[in-house]
A and B are shown apart, each in its own frame.
Chain A
């Protein structure tokens, strides 16, 4: 049984022939019913999504963005007008023979205010460009596939809700310590939800939550067939759309 998604390619390429050096990647489809791996068939993966030259700089930019955009710094220092005291002129301007001052809390004084210190709360929100985010996903998926860390399964239905079943399965197949299971639906089957609940390193995720940071954090990425189809359809749509600029309009900041 060979399942081919070539039809999706043709539809999304607008009729142009596939490029010469980008052949579709063929991947086995496994099962989750038994601990031992049973190969159910072959599937073609679209090279524009899964066979892109991995751009490490773009992956790094994505990871940095994912960590920083939600970061708020709560560090705070007081300015000269916030430090307690310092309203009165310490001594008269002339006559004492000492230097002139207006306030005991000026920045040149010990215990005075800090001029350019951190001011709480400071947001570090910024929006990475549309194509950078898109290419980050493509690069990471391609890298995962090239490094044998990407596996396709037919569905996430497992026979028991025993946590040790998942452990044995992952151990048997040589999947990494941390595994990210991705399905199209956001309500996962009961058994796998119960089995992975006690393990912090087996995580379930819907396709819309797929991101570069999570893919790098987990050693192995396991996609269902439905997830692959959805992922390819969405990424190819975004690659072939002309109105990507409007997608990022609402995140535009007034100041840099």
Chain B
């Protein structure tokens, strides 16, 4: 009888200790319904230390953020890619082709028509005499490719389309012309 009581006492003790350990490692957080019931803030030495950093360090954060507006291109120094900056003064021609907001030449390759896909070279951002520009580019393309080139001039939206993939030829011509 005594052994049984002793064994049950020991067992209860073990249970108690185990239960205590289990609860302590769980660390259950309590949320109180009112402000006054909540435990209040302790004095600073109960919490981890912190130290203020100078506000000059914000520049390390700022340089990670992408710019909202397109930044200007570097004026001097060579770019190791094909890209050339737009010249300072416009060429003396009756037309003008403006660079895009990212300073790229506005010549694009479109794939039009659902079946029998057509490659269309499109030149956008044109100002001035669009027909003169079309004549100039068309004659250049016909000279280079030695075949007839079909084109469309859209006077309202101010773009020219050429049937075929002449993107590189047109880009080169525009850069040579000084746009």
Contact = CB atoms under 8 A, between A and B. Distances in A.
Contacts of A14: 69-73, 101, 103
Contacts of B164: none
Given A12-B69, A17-B88, A55-B157, A240 B98 contact: no
B96 A239 contact: no
Interface stretch (A18-26, A115-123, A183-191): A18-26
B179 to A, nearest CB: 10
Interface of A: 12, 14-17, 19-22, 53, 55, 57, 237, 239-243
B70 A242 contact: yes
20 contacts: A14-B69, A14-B71, A15-B75, A16-B72, A16-B86, A16-B103, A17-B88, A19-B98, A19-B127, A20-B90, A20-B127, A21-B96, A21-B127, A21-B128, A53-B156, A55-B156, A237-B69, A241-B70, A243-B66, A243-B68
Contact of B101 (A17, A19, A20, A242): A242
B158 interface: yes
B89 interface: yes
- Size band of the B side of the interface? 20 to 34
Contacts of B98: 19
Contacts, number: 50
B86 to A, nearest CB: 6
Contact of B158 (A15, A53, A237, A241): A53
Most B C-beta atoms less than 10 A away, residue of A20, A53, A239: A20
A20 B70 contact: no
A17 B72 CA distance: 12
Contacts of A21: 96, 127-128
A17 B90 contact: yes
Nearest to B93: A20
B102 interface: yes
Contacts of A22: 127
Given A20-B127, A20-B128, A21-B96, 8 more contacts: A14-B101, A17-B86, A17-B88, A19-B96, A240-B70, A241-B68, A241-B70, A242-B102
Given A22-B127, A55-B156, A242-B102, A17 B89 contact: yes
A57 B96 CA distance: 24
Nearest to B99: A16
A207 B99 CA distance: 29
A21 B96 CA distance: 7
B108 to A, nearest CB: 15
A16 B158 CA distance: 21
A55 B89 CA distance: 28
A43 B58 CA distance: 39
Contacts of B66: 243
Contacts of A243: 66, 68
Most A C-beta atoms less than 10 A away, residue of B68, B69, B75, B158: B69
A33 to B, nearest CB: 38
Nearest to B129: A21
Nearest to B67: A242
A10 to B, nearest CB: 10
